[in-house]
């Protein structure tokens, strides 16, 4: 991972106009990169800087909760004060950080499939050639396994495989 960071840092320096010969050698650049990453992610100042650059919202633990860290090796629990916990919340759109508060989202409408009856968010309205081009709402599974190519061209296994709904009976296992 450090190697890919070193390559990226070197590329950024060259893109910023730094002459290639003025950039420290590979080993020195790796040490600087590793030290910077350690500072960014293991110090309170570095975490604050990272959160600002990533446009993350931060908030501390709730005083009404008890917090503990579980050590999987020893099985022990360590109590943590709520004020010692920092939560980070953020989002990136197409690789660019955005403030989480600017992201609007809502749950997709769920309807019943005319083919198998499953209630799902993945329904598409298709014309069924076997029923006089009657409009039907079908789930991806019913579209994919439909006998007519004009219908099954609109579906595919990749749609179900990439779906996060793991409790769906049509989810490939």
For the ranges 78-82, 132-136, 166-170, the lowest mean pLDDT is seen at 166-170
Band the pLDDT of 173: cuts 50, 70, 90. Answer: low
Chain-wide mean pLDDT for the chain? 90
- Name the pLDDT band for 12 (thresholds 50, 70, 90): very high
**Are 114 and 141 within 8 A, CB to CB?**
no
Tokens of residue 62, six digits: 């709730």
pLDDT digits (tens, 9 = 90+) for 101-152: 999 999 888 899 999 898 888 889 999 888 888 999 998 888 988 888 888 8
Q: Are 137 and 109 in contact (CB under 8 A)?
A: no
Work out the number of other CB atoms within 10 angstroms of the CB of residue 41.
10
What are phi and psi for residue 103, nearest 5 degrees?
A: -90, 120
Q: How high is the pLDDT of residue 90? A: 94
Contact yes or no for 88/131 (Cβ under 8 A): no
Structure confidence at residue 154 (pLDDT)? 84
What are the residue ranges spanned by the domains of the chain? 1-42, 59-105, 111-162
Smallest Cα–Cα separation from 91: which of 83, 99, 79? 99
Q: How confident is the model at residue 172 (pLDDT cuts 50, 70, 90)?
A: low
């Amino acid at each position: 991972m450090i190697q890919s960071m070193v390559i990226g840092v070197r590329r950024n320096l060259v893109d910023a106009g730094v002459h290639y010969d003025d950039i420290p050698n590979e080993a020195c650049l790796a040490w600087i990169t590793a030290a910077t990453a350690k500072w960014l992610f293991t110090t309170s100042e570095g975490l604050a800087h990272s959160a600002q650059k990533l446009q993350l919202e931060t908030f501390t633990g709730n005083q009404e909760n008890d917090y503990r860290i579980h050590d999987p090796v020893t099985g022990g629990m360590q109590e943590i004060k709520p004020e010692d916990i920092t939560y980070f919340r953020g989002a990136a759109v197409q690789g660019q950080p955005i403030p989480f508060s600017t992201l609007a989202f809502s749950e997709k409408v769920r309807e019943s499939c005319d083919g198998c009856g499953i209630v799902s968010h993945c329904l598409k309205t298709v014309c069924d050639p076997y029923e006089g081009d009657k409009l039907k709402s079908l789930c991806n599974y019913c579209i994919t396994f439909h006998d007519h190519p004009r219908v099954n061209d609109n579906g595919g296994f990749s749609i179900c495989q990439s779906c996060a709904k793991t409790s769906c009976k049509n989810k490939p296992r």
